Amino acid sequence: MKNQWVSNLTGMVQVKVLGLGPERFLNECMRKGIPLKNVKKSGTNSITFTIELKDYKRIKNIPRKKEYKVYFIGRIGLPFEIRRAWKYFGFVLGIVGFLAVLFLLSNMVWRIDVKGASPEIEYKLRKELNELGVKTGASQFTLPTLQSIQKKLQDDNPSITWIGVQLNGTTFHFEVVEKHLPKPEQALRPRHIIAKEEAVISSMFVEKGKPLVTANDYVHKGQVLVSGIIGTEDHPQIVSAVGKVIGEVWREELVSIPLNTSFTVLTGEKKNRYYIGTSQHKIKYWGFDKNKFTSFEKERNAYQFKFLKWKLPLFFTKESIFESDEIVRTYSKEEAVEVGKQTGRSDLMKKLSDDAKILQEKVLHESLDNGKVNLRIYYKVLEDITKTKTIVQGD
């Protein structure tokens, strides 16, 4: 006889025989090979039992006597439960659909708040966010990580000191701290303009004060270029000297370039794999092909599912596998020298002001040591050579 749970899956029918001699009907069922279960006698003229659903038609075809009647009083099992549930299919489908839509809406972006930014900066930030896909109605599954968004916005906006990014439910919050450059202090105290280093004067522009040097003069560090004392000896007047003096100065840079350099580059080939699960256990549901990359780098982005304001213990994880390759770059000595010149010029420009200009460069010394080309480079630079010195009593 089959197990009870198997019978529940296939379905069972409860039968009641009422009248004189109901045992005769049971005997007919046994002769036909119909298995009976849970046979109970509920009175002198009443017997109940259970049969499997597949035997329902067979038992209906058994001839019945006039002395008793057969009643089908109940249906048990999965087929009948499904039939009952089907009556409410529309209602169940509506509930499931409502929960599915609510789940999707809970994982979309419906609001973007930007605080602390001026109207110009806020307009620019919202435009960049739109290009990144962070906009109203966007699915949170497809958005970059919060760290990536923060870095992109801060790198592209030098006028921003710091920007904080938070995602609360369906709302992005951006907290902006702008750079507020201090206003230049007015030179209230009397002062001279002096040379901050040795140079040959190229040009001068004096707004206030008395020039003490002219173009093509050689000046020493600390030498007064524009005096803050004007007027005559009998009637001197002390002012705050204002001006700009451009001079030719000399710089040196030491550069070392290896002839052989190994580094890792990405080939552009990648594979994506997607997982769903908890923080400890994940199940892969896409990207089952074997990783054939001999050298690669991995990047993982995890997104936690939400339902309304609650965070669910489920994560959607995207794993990107990027194919990489080890490259050995080899320079000849002449190529290394050229690269060294470019590097030296670039390093020097980082140390100079924006309005400085390199006039001339010359390699003073060149050597090859331990697989590296070492250069000592001389530069003639045109830049502002001024700084101020407060006038004290006795000057």
* pLDDT on residue 378: 93
What pLDDT does residue 58 have? 84
pLDDT at 92: 75
* Residue 80 token pair: 């009948």
Same fold? 4-82, 111-178:
no
With contact defined as beta carbons under 8 Å apart, do 199 and 248 qualify? yes
CATH of region 4-82: 3.30.70.2280
Give the model's pLDDT for residue 1.
Answer: 44
pLDDT per residue as tens digits for the range 273-320: 988 888 788 888 888 888 888 888 888 888 888 877 778 888 888 889
pLDDT of residue 185: 57
Q: Nearest CA to 10 among 92, 97, 103, 81?
A: 81
CA–CA separation, 304 and 151 (whole Å): 21
pLDDT of residue 395: 58
pTM, entire model: 0.47
Q: How many degrees, rounded to 5, is the angle at CA 57 between CA 53 and CA 59?
A: 90
Enumerate residue ranges in the chain where pLDDT < 50: 1-2, 187
Tokens of 360: 């001339």
pLDDT digits (tens, 9 = 90+) for 23-81: 888 888 888 888 888 888 877 788 888 888 888 788 887 777 777 888 888 888 877 77
Res 253: pLDDT: 92
What gap in Å lies between CA 74 and CA 46, rounded to an integer? 16
What pLDDT is attached to residue 182?
A: 64
* Domain residue ranges of the chain, discontinuous segments joined by +: 4-82, 111-178, 254-260+330-381, 262-326
CATH number of the structural domain 111-178: 3.10.20.310
